[in-house]
Amino acid sequence: MRILITGAAGMVGRKLIARLIKDGTLNGKPITSIDAVDVVAAEWPASTISFHAQVGDLAVPAFVDGLAGLKPDVVFHLAGIVSGEAEANFDLGYRVNLDGTRMLFEAIRRAKLSPRIVFTSSIAVFGAPFPAVIPDDFHLTPLTSYGTQKMMSEALLADYTRKGIFDGIGIRLPTICVRPGKPNKAASGFFSNIIREPLAGLEAVLPVPRDVVHTFASPRAAVGFLLHAAGIDGAQVGPRRNLTMPGVGVSVQDQLDALRRVAGDRPLSLIKEVPDETIWSIVKGWPTRFETRRSNALGFEAEKNFDAIIRAHIEDELGGKLQH
Amino acid sequence: MRILITGAAGMVGRKLIARLIKDGTLNGKPITSIDAVDVVAAEWPASTISFHAQVGDLAVPAFVDGLAGLKPDVVFHLAGIVSGEAEANFDLGYRVNLDGTRMLFEAIRRAKLSPRIVFTSSIAVFGAPFPAVIPDDFHLTPLTSYGTQKMMSEALLADYTRKGIFDGIGIRLPTICVRPGKPNKAASGFFSNIIREPLAGLEAVLPVPRDVVHTFASPRAAVGFLLHAAGIDGAQVGPRRNLTMPGVGVSVQDQLDALRRVAGDRPLSLIKEVPDETIWSIVKGWPTRFETRRSNALGFEAEKNFDAIIRAHIEDELGGKLQH
């Protein structure tokens, strides 16, 4: 089982790689090699599996032809410019998120491979206004260039799969929470900050009302989606290859209640409510809950509640115990 | 008012041009020039308006930069490889239907114009299975490369519009009926053949059961959609720039009943029912009816019934009178 991972140095890519090295198998078969690609160099964990890191740009045909030449059995295509950057730099977003994806698909076509390709799409393919719960057959009307590029890549993935060029599964990830690391400036950052920082004994700012509802999955669940998508039977999925992943749809108040249940009163005292109109105006346009009937039926699993998301963070990032 | 038309030599393009020359105005303003572009040379009607025909390929940047240099106020982007050809020639379909569209949009961006662009999309952006009536918020899961390319072009149109690069309206045309000319090999051809040929005293073959339901608009209505889209207020449309056009949703039996009402019994006797499993298997996967609430509210109008579609054909193609 030869595995190629693009965007390998990102948060999800690193966690996927750690899991693959730990498991040693994918879809029940021994992993013989992992090729990890990103535009930036990174440090990688020690591995007994053949492991190669490559630094390069997917929108350069000679580079992607080299990747296809590795004859991967499974490709995890995670690479992408994030939403804020794709919005600020129109050309870069299209070059990486659309052209990079298309070049990769074309290189695989030229090499006459037919790997399983797992592509991480996003709920940004949807655009407001939304129903309270978004059904699987809701239309795609993105309101960002990032969402547009993900939608176009999804369309390519489905068409290349239909033509038998490869066997693709697109998974639309909900907001990943709790994101490890430092607070960042993403408008969605506070959803993680208000859990991660207080658990580490640090203050966090809540910039929106507590009745804001949003859908989450843990980094661990995201890796689980990727592994499940790698092994799922394409015939069972049928021609609609892009699936909205399950998640935990909760209000900020629900997040805080879960934090209290898991970690007691003290972390709550570290959260300062400082309304921020700019963030609130962005968050207002985001979807709240998803129906995800298809991904549920296909066996994709997120956490059952937000308590489990917090516990996954404590186990995976804090060594399994509360530090305060 | 300077007008640029791509795919000008196609059936809809020619009818649009004839109408623009006849009207002499668009959106209430005098037309000062029409530039008609196609990959094939064509004969054009005499015009008192400045009229230029250009033969060229939209996927060639220097050519599209030249088109943008004409500084059109309104672009009708009708060019495209048809469904069957895009399915048979994967690279050609993507090159023309996706890359050609993107190159045109990019040339307009480089020229810093912000024209109204009216783009003809298709109901092929939808893919079976369908509800009996497809709502405006139904998802896009095309089952052809053509439909995929139209969906991707729609996504670009909406994103470029959102970014203020131009002001686009995408219109998803239903099946155009009655198509003038000779019977062709398109799987949808019989819907027109069974009306046009008997009205001309010729035999026609009906290859599917009479209870097949499909949605139609006349060539005249299609031109009406284009003109309405050219003048519509973008603010009223909002960010969801791609609209399913209205049409007449009827069964084949309804078509035949309308033919009898309009032209009597004799044309009916010229229709031979010869079931064709290949055509039937394709047609089974097609959508039947559309809700089109948005396009109705925005003032797009198709015929009210199939009788009116037949009468439009008799008026526009047969000089207003039955020949037999």
> Would you call A144 helix, strand, or coil by DSSP?
coil
pLDDT 10s digits, B238-291: 999 999 999 999 999 999 999 999 999 999 999 999 999 999 988 988 999 999
Exposed/middle/buried for A272, CB within 10 Å: 0-12, 13-18, 19+?
A: exposed
Residue whose entry in the numeric block shows the structure tokens 């004799």: B266
**What is the CATH class of A176-215+247-289+303-317?**
alpha beta
In this predicted structure, what is the pLDDT of residue A323?
65
Is residue B322 predicted with pLDDT exceeding 90? no
d(CA B159, CA A149): 9
Q: Is the dihedral of CA B193, B199, B203, B206 positive or negative?
A: positive
- Mean pLDDT (whole number) for B156-167: 98
In a 13 Å sphere around the CA of B32, the CA atoms on its Cβ side amount to 8
Q: Where residue B323 falls among pLDDT bands split at 50, 70, 90?
A: low
Q: Where residue A127 falls among pLDDT bands split at 50, 70, 90?
A: very high
d(CA A168, CA A209): 39
Nearest partner of A306 among A235, A236, A215, A237, judged by Cα: A215
d(CA A194, CA A147): 26
In this predicted structure, what is the pLDDT of residue B285?
86
In this predicted structure, what is the pLDDT of residue A185?
73
Contact (CB<8Å) A148/B141: no
| C-alpha of B322 from chain center | 26
- Mean pLDDT (whole number) for A196-213: 96
Considering CB atoms only, which of A145, A239, A240 is closest to B159? A145
Q: Rounded mean pLDDT of chain B?
A: 96
pLDDT 10s digits, B297-319: 999 999 999 999 999 999 999 99
Measured between CA atoms, the residue of chain A closest to residue B153 is A152
**What is the CATH class of A2-173+218-244?**
alpha beta
In this predicted structure, what is the pLDDT of residue B324?
55
Query: In degrees, to the nearest 5, what angle opens at C-alpha A64 toward C-alphas A60 and A70?
Result: 160
Contact (CB<8Å) A137/B139: yes
Considering CB atoms only, which of B90, B138, B140 is closest to A163? B90
Which residue in A119, A146, A160, A191 is the catalytic one?
Answer: A146
Q: Rounded mean pLDDT of chain A?
A: 96
Q: Which of B89, B149, B152 would best serve as a mutation to test chain A binding (most A beta carbons within 10 A)?
A: B152
B146 is catalytic: yes
d(CA A209, CA A252): 8
Residue by residue, DSSP assigns B223-272 as: HHHHHHHHHS-HHHH-S--EEEPP-EEEEHHHHHHHHHHHH-SGGGGGEE
Alpha helices in A163-244 (DSSP H): 189-199, 219-231, 234-237
Query: In degrees, to the nearest 5, what angle opens at C-alpha A135 toward C-alphas A130 and A139?
Result: 65
Considering CB atoms only, which of B127, B159, B162 is closest to A239? B127
In this predicted structure, what is the pLDDT of residue B292?
98
Query: How would you label A76-94 residue by residue, b for 16+ Cβ within 10 Å and e otherwise?
Result: bbbbbbebeebbeeeeebb
The pair phi, psi for residue B133, each rounded to 5°, is: -125, 120
- Mean pLDDT (whole number) for B192-213: 96
- Mean pLDDT (whole number) for A242-259: 98
% of chain A surpassing 70 pLDDT: 99
Question: Is the pTM for the entire model greater than 0.80?
Answer: yes
pLDDT 10s digits, B2-40: 999 999 999 999 999 999 999 999 999 999 999 999 999
The pair phi, psi for residue A230, each rounded to 5°, is: -65, -30
| Lowest-confidence pick of B5-9, B81-85, B120-124, B213-217 | B81-85
- Mean pLDDT (whole number) for A253-273: 97
Would the CATH topology of A2-173+218-244 be identical to that of A176-215+247-289+303-317? no
3-state helix, strand, coil in chain B (%, to 5): 45, 20, 40
Contact (CB<8Å) A155/B142: yes
pLDDT 10s digits, A142-169: 999 999 999 999 999 999 999 999 999 9
- Mean pLDDT (whole number) for A83-110: 96
Measured between CA atoms, the residue of chain B closest to residue A156 is B148
Chain A positions in Cβ-Cβ contact with residue B145 (cut-off 8 Å): 159, 163
In the structure encoding, which two tokens stand for residue A128, read together? 């407001």
d(CA A109, CA A209): 49
Residues of A engaging B, defined by a Cβ cutoff of 8 Å: 90, 127, 136-143, 145, 148, 151-152, 155-156, 158-159, 162-163, 239-240
Is residue A324 predicted with pLDDT exceeding 70? no
Contact (CB<8Å) B158/A148: yes
The pair phi, psi for residue A164, each rounded to 5°, is: 75, 15
In this predicted structure, what is the pLDDT of residue A284?
87
The pair phi, psi for residue B122, each rounded to 5°, is: -155, 155
Chain A positions in Cβ-Cβ contact with residue B156 (cut-off 8 Å): 148, 152
Which residue in B51, B76, B119, B146 is the catalytic one?
Answer: B146
* ipTM score for this prediction: 0.95
Chain B positions in Cβ-Cβ contact with residue A136 (cut-off 8 Å): 139
Q: Are A259 and A267 in contact (CB under 8 A)?
A: yes
Instruction: Give the residue extent of every domain in chain A.
Output: 2-173+218-244, 176-215+247-289+303-317
Is residue A182 predicted with pLDDT exceeding 60? yes
Is residue A70 predicted with pLDDT exceeding 80? yes
In this predicted structure, what is the pLDDT of residue A139?
97
Is residue A252 predicted with pLDDT exceeding 60? yes
